Chains A and B, each alone.
Chain A
Amino acid sequence: MLEVGGLHVSYGRAQVLFGVDLSAPSGSLVCLMGRNGVGKTTLLKAVTGVLAPRSGTVRFDGRDVTRMRTHERVRRGLGYVPQGHETFPQLTVAENLQVAREAAPGARRSATDDALDLFPALGALMKRRAGFLSGGQQQQLAIARALVTEPRMLLLDEPTEGIQPSIVQQIEEAIGRLHASGLTILLVEQYLDLALRLADRFVILDAGEVVRSGDAEQLRDESVRALLAV
Chain B
Amino acid sequence: MGALNQLVIGASIGAVLLLAALGLTFTFGQMGVINMAHGEFIMAGAYTAYVLQPLAGGQAVLAALPVAFVVAGLLGLVLERVLIRRFYGRPLDTLLLTFGVSLILQQLARDIFGAPNVQVRAPGWLTGGVDLGGLRIPYNRIFILVLAVGCVVGISWYLARLKQGRRMRAVMQNRQLAAVSGVATERVDQLTFFVGSGLAGLAGVALTLIGPVGPTLGSAYIVDAFLVVVAGGLGQLRGAVIAAFTLGVLNSFVEFWTANGASFAKVVVFAVVIGFLQVRPQGMFVLRSRALS
Contacts and interface: CB of A to CB of B under 8 A. Distances in A.
Q: Does B associate with A?
A: yes
A104 interface: yes
B263 interface: no
A98 interface: yes
A89 B169 CA distance: 10
- A interface, by DSSP: helix, strand, loop or mixed? helix
B85 to A, nearest CB: 15
Contacts of A200: none
Interface in B191-250: none
A82 B181 contact: no
Of the listed residues A90, A100, A133, the one surrounded by the most CB atoms of chain B closer than 10 A to its CB is A90
Contact of A88 (B177, B179, B182): B177
B121 interface: no
B291 interface: yes
Interface string B169-197: 11001101111111111000000000000
Report the contact-size class of chain A (Cβ under 8 Å from the partner). 20 to 34
A99 interface: yes
A145 interface: yes
Interface extent on B, as a size class? 20 to 34
Contacts of B185: 71
B86 interface: no
Given A71-B184, A99-B170, A89 B287 contact: yes
B289 interface: yes
B182 to A, nearest CB: 4
A138 B174 CA distance: 14
Interface string B253-293: 00000000000000000000000000000000001111110
B290 A88 contact: no
Interface of A: 48, 50, 69-71, 74-75, 80, 82, 86-91, 95-96, 98-100, 102-104, 129-133, 138, 145-146, 149
Closest 4 pairs between A and B when the two form their complex, measured CB to CB: A131-B289, A103-B182, A89-B289, A74-B182
14 contacts: A50-B176, A50-B179, A71-B179, A71-B183, A74-B180, A80-B180, A87-B174, A88-B177, A89-B292, A130-B291, A131-B289, A131-B290, A132-B289, A132-B290
